[in-house]
Amino acid sequence: MSDLKGAKKVAVELGIDEPDDGEGRLLAEEYGMNGIPPKSAERDLPIIEAEILFYKRQAGASIIEIGKRLNEAKAQLSHGEWLPWLREKVDISERSATNFMRIAREYPESVNIADLGTCKALALLDLPDSERERFAAEKHVVNGVEKGISEMTGKELKQAIRERDAALRAAKRQKPPWRLRRRTRRRWKRI
């Protein structure tokens, strides 16, 4: 039996087999959910951008929620059951699951990481906890343009973090000027 016939049979059994008034069909056509691509009406670019950003935020929030549930499921599974469960039950790769779980663990509830997306959220995890919020709030020069992390691409954010790390390493390599304090028996002692 096909899935459609099975769904109709269940609908009849539950008493929700109502005739389609055409509204569902129209919505399905409008959003391309009936196997036919949606009609290509010209829409304004700002509307399309707003829709993309909306769904991007939803995806970010979903990743955090998926990560929370993966953490919960892993805690309930016995040793050796985790990877088969991932493959068979939720069809998520081990790497994706690890990333989602890490994002869910590392970011506190108050931080709105959903706007960033997975790539940027993972890039920010390379920073120490104490510096993450400050770094995210600051503007950074990327390719000669000052940008916030929400305006950067994932690649630009990773580059800004690398540049920050390189500047910190260079600062550590520079030795502070030393002074002579006193003379010991054989040589001057640095402080």
- pTM of structure: 0.60
The region, left, alpha or beta by phi > 0 then psi within -120 to 50, assigned to residue 4 is alpha
Residue 77: HSE in the Cβ half-sphere, 13 Å Cα cutoff: 15
Residue 185: pLDDT over 70: no
E runs forming strands in the chain: 140-142, 145-147, 180-183, 188-190
Question: pLDDT band at residue 71, thresholds of 50, 70 and 90?
Answer: very high
In this predicted model, what pLDDT tens digit does every residue of 130-157 receive, in sequence order? 888 888 888 988 888 898 888 888 899 9
> In 3D, which of 160, 159, 59, 168 has the Cα closest to residue 115?
59
Pair of tokens at residue 22: 């055409």
